[in-house]
Amino acid sequence: MDENKLHLSPPKQMLPQRMDSGGPYRLLHCSGLGDKEGVMQELGKGVEPNLVDYDRRTALHLAASEGCVEIVVLLLEKGADVNSTDRWGRTPLSDACNFGHKDVCKILGAHGGYDPLGDSPTPCCIIDHGEVDMKDAALIGEGAYGEVYLVKWRGTEVAAKTIRASIASNPMVKNAFLKELALWQKLRHPNIVQFLGVLKQSDRLIFLTEYLRNGSLYDQLRKKGRLDPLTAVAYALDIARGMNYLHQHKPHAIIHRDLTPRNVLQDEAGHLKVTDFGLSKIAQQKDSYGYKMTGGTGSYRYMAPEVYRRESYGKSVDVFSFALIVHEMFQGGPSNREAAPETVADKTAYEDYRPHLASYIFPEPVKTLLRECWHKNPDRRPSFQEIIERLEKIYETMQDKIVLGTCCSCMIL
Ligand SMILES: Nc1ncnc2c1ncn2[C@@H]1O[C@H](COP(=O)(O)OP(=O)(O)OP(=O)(O)O)[C@@H](O)[C@H]1O
């Protein structure tokens, strides 16, 4: 394996960061910068000390991450919640510990702070480096986080995903990755790519998953173009089943947040499997406000409007992305292909743009389903459970018509 490949380009941008440093958010901005006067001014104006940003990070999270002792003390005096948890379940103490700010840890601890991530040893299955034959590693592809290699583990071909040093060298980000991987490790479903373990290496992060010989749906659509309708519906069912499993995960639903044709892989039997769920939220870049979401620019095309507008969101963001993928399978690629993905996301979010559903390509029940799945109101989008039921009916009807010889490339259903 080419060692230098592991230090290539920085992660690509995915989500816009629109939070400005004015208004009440100046409290967060000043806290991260250690600007005590600014923090006092904002609190003096009556800004709520537990104000949160998009990732539910408070001023105390930011001050603790930066080791700003005075700000931490001040915020606690003013009533900041010592154990507020951000989107990833981290408390201010988790952040202070991760960055080794011992003084801040002591202060937070004395105020009843706890670190829910702290004591738990990494629950990921650790694979010894000696078990993996890296000599003949072949580069399969490259994504926002790093390269993917085909390697042999205990004699079996597996995919080794490397996380760039620029991302994995941040202990907090590495921990967050390991937490997501530990969750992935517990999942078992025919339409979910199987996680195998993390390679024992101190300086970088590499994890193994099953290898899917047929590559991604993205590659397939580029090679083959439009799929025949029955195959498109069968593939849609595969994705919906994998996603339904994630959404019905207990005690908390797993939201993919980056469902795209690149994150759907095909096994030798022709079935599709979903991969890389949960990881998109971790690739972050730190800026003066805290953490900003990043990722592959291609993902913009599939982004639900509420995510692009940085509003609160839920499981149905994946239903939105799913609809665009299904549309591409019927059509052979994205509509508006020539437009930049970010421009498409902007039009989708602010002008209610949706791809055209040509009647000669899309059967009526598929059209209806897609319109519901990409509905602008997230509450009006169906669940994956419902999508599966409807797709199964569509699939059966299509098969019947093929048997009867009345479905010619399935224009009418
Ligand atoms: N388990 C796997 N088996 C076979 N090929 C894989 C596997 N995982 C990834 N790949 C291939 O490697 C390429 C890069 O994958 P990776 O997940 O790093 O990035 P991506 O999904 O293409 O983009 P992004 O990181 O922006 O989501 C994919 O396009 C896919 O073709």
Residue 58 near residue 24 (C-beta atoms within 8 A): no
Torsions phi, psi of 364, nearest 5? -55, -45
Binding residues for ATP: 161
Active site annotation includes 258: yes
CB of 192 within 6 A of ligand 1: the answer is no
CB of 193 within 6 A of ligand 1: the answer is yes
Architecture of domain 24-111: Alpha Horseshoe (1.25)
How many Å lie between the centroid of ligand 1 and the Cα of residue 24? Answer: 40
Q: Domain 215-285+292-401 sits in which CATH superfamily?
A: Transferase(Phosphotransferase) domain 1 (1.10.510.10)
User: Which of 258, 276, 318, 346 is flagged as catalytic?
Assistant: 258
Question: How confident is the model at residue 7, as a pLDDT?
Answer: 30
How many Å lie between the centroid of ligand 1 and the Cα of residue 12? Answer: 15
Per-domain residue ranges for the chain? 24-111, 126-210, 215-285+292-401
- Closest ligand 1 atom, CA of 146? 18
Mutation choice for ligand 1 from 13, 163, 265, CB with most ligand atoms inside 8 A: 265
Query: What is the reported pTM?
Result: 0.71
**What's the CA gap between 151 and 138, in Å, rounded?**
7
Strands (E), 329-393: none
How many Å lie between the centroid of ligand 1 and the Cα of residue 271? Answer: 16
ipTM for the assembly: 0.96
CB of 290 within 6 A of ligand 1: the answer is no
197: tokens are: 């373990």
CB of 314 within 6 A of ligand 1: the answer is no
Mutation choice for ligand 1 from 196, 212, 216, CB with most ligand atoms inside 8 A: 216
Question: How confident is the model at residue 281, as a pLDDT?
Answer: 58
CA–centroid distance for 88 within its chain: 12
CB of 217 within 6 A of ligand 1: the answer is no
Identify the helix (H) or strand (E) that includes residue 126.
strand 126-127
Q: Count CB-CB contacts under 10 A for residue 166.
A: 17
| 3-state SS assignment for residue 159 | strand
Peptide linkage before 49 cis (omega within 30 of 0)? no
- Closest ligand 1 atom, CA of 148? 12
What residue's CA is closest to ligand 1, atom 28?
141
Residue 207 half-sphere exposure, CB side, CA atoms within 13 Å? 24
What residue's CA is closest to ligand 1, atom 26?
296
Question: How confident is the model at residue 175, as a pLDDT?
Answer: 75
CB of 280 within 6 A of ligand 1: the answer is no
384: tokens are: 């994956």
What tens-digit pLDDT sequence spans the chain (413 residues)?
333 333 323 333 233 333 445 677 889 989 988 999 999 999 999 999 999 887 788 999 999 999 999 999 999 999 999 989 887 677 899 889 878 899 999 999 888 888 876 655 456 788 888 888 877 899 999 987 889 999 999 889 999 999 888 777 777 777 778 878 888 988 889 999 999 999 876 567 899 999 999 999 999 999 999 999 999 999 999 999 999 999 998 877 889 989 999 999 999 999 999 998 766 655 433 333 333 344 344 589 999 999 899 888 889 999 999 999 999 999 998 888 889 999 999 999 999 999 999 999 999 999 999 999 999 999 999 999 999 999 999 999 998 888 777 654 544 44
| Helix residue spans in 99-224 (DSSP H) | 102-110, 165-168, 171-185, 217-224
CB of 265 within 6 A of ligand 1: the answer is yes
117: tokens are: 């991530």
312: tokens are: 């609160």
Q: Domain 126-210 sits in which CATH superfamily?
A: Phosphorylase Kinase; domain 1 (3.30.200.20)
What residue's CA is closest to ligand 1, atom 2?
211
CB of 144 within 6 A of ligand 1: the answer is yes
**What's the CA gap between 130 and 127, in Å, rounded?**
8
How many Å lie between the centroid of ligand 1 and the Cα of residue 208? Answer: 12
How many Å lie between the centroid of ligand 1 and the Cα of residue 399? Answer: 32
Find, among 198, 318, 220, 331, the residue nearest to 267 by Cα. Answer: 220
Name residues whose C-beta falls within 8 Å of residue 102's C-beta, 6 or more positions apart in sequence: none
Question: How confident is the model at residue 278, as a pLDDT?
Answer: 66
Question: How confident is the model at residue 320, as a pLDDT?
Answer: 98
